[in-house]
Structure 1
């Protein structure tokens, strides 16, 4: 039986042209309230026992947001959001594929007073050969310019740039000055609770600082098309937990099918290999810049596959 589309052709066309789009009202008010409580609780539990320095004493990256990955493995209610079928179907429709897998989920909580998020592309951090990936950015209390709204460089996913920008340590390179996109102003987008912003893995994006007195609570879900392969040897738990070698299809229980889920199994079983990482990417050695395309400085390369 054919599944009814959740998106209009206009929304899909906007995403393909700009590399980002806001889909209104994908979640109900009741769902948003429930999932905000679930994700916030999971973040709090993940951070229990961690000695957190005052905001001003942290690294630039740690001042940008609290990051907790793979929260679906900690909490069944978070898993229900991560594997929410309307959200997953929207991602599949935007990528124009039949099925998508989960790369990982993550909470990104920009604390009150948190600094801006530096401009970057997501896909260069992941050893996926193909370039079709997409993030669902779900503001659980809505996002405003004041609270840390996301900004996107329109069309930047189409210029052939795949550049590693080290936003984790030190002061990152300003990717906005690259010739491919210089002069194209980021568009900052406020997203009300219940709506979801999607962006392509090659879309250059950034975020405003949070100048409010309330944390900007966001849950994100990263999807990639079923059938994608590992393209690079640099370590990442999403492929290493399943012992996926370079050139092999990424299809382990660490990256389960997100949409469509089998009937009667809305949430997949937990991966066989436990997650052995902390709550912040800055505390992990999962990215080795020297192993990334372009070497330690990141660099650029021309893409032959613009899927």
Structure 2
């Protein structure tokens, strides 16, 4: 790099990210109002799902890329394998209202696939040993079910794909260790059970993935999936706030209910409805519910 010239995308720099986090903390200490990270919405997950699944599976190459090719083709930062791992992390963090650093600590011993009587995968049970708000355990399990109506929001489909990939990579043995592994090269991951993906590495991958679909990654941060999950449960699935708190594990010691509303409302989020359309009689209907068939906004 020469004086007055720049190379690369500064939004993907770990150093820049650490500086901005530190700057934000100093501003908060001085009394500045905190701006929440933008929530990941269902439409963004859908776009990422189809983009990532559009990559062809690996063809036996070693997944390594030369520095020259990396410089000439920054869009080839990851292949099918890494993208499938990221997709599992996206949907798990969103549906279970996890910060992505909490999701990165999940091990295969925390994951249980439960089958129906016909042998098909009925649901997935996730038992986390530790969370930020539960340092000594006592975390209720998360039960995730198939979602045929929204394949981009189906945890069983995502977990089944990743489980198969990890099992083949480990010699058809039962996967052990961390679920989300350290990225090696372009499309390989570490086969060492204790070699987990770091938060910095995930953040870089996540931002690169957003750039793939032409979304500015700068507003997104550690709480984007948790905030997006809250809004998905409250707005799309219409869960009562009491159920959201209970599902997230906030029911017992959620002593600051204002925090929940910070997850649900923020000026930093993309507006769902334009102001002129709130009472517009010709406003487009919502997506039709597969159960009751209603598509009106009062459903």
Relative to its length, the structure with more helix (as a share) is 2
Relative to its length, the structure with more strand (as a share) is 1
- Could you say which TM-score interval applies, normalised by the shorter chain? under 0.3
Larger radius of gyration: 2
Please report the TM-score for the alignment, with normalisation by the length of structure 1: 0.23
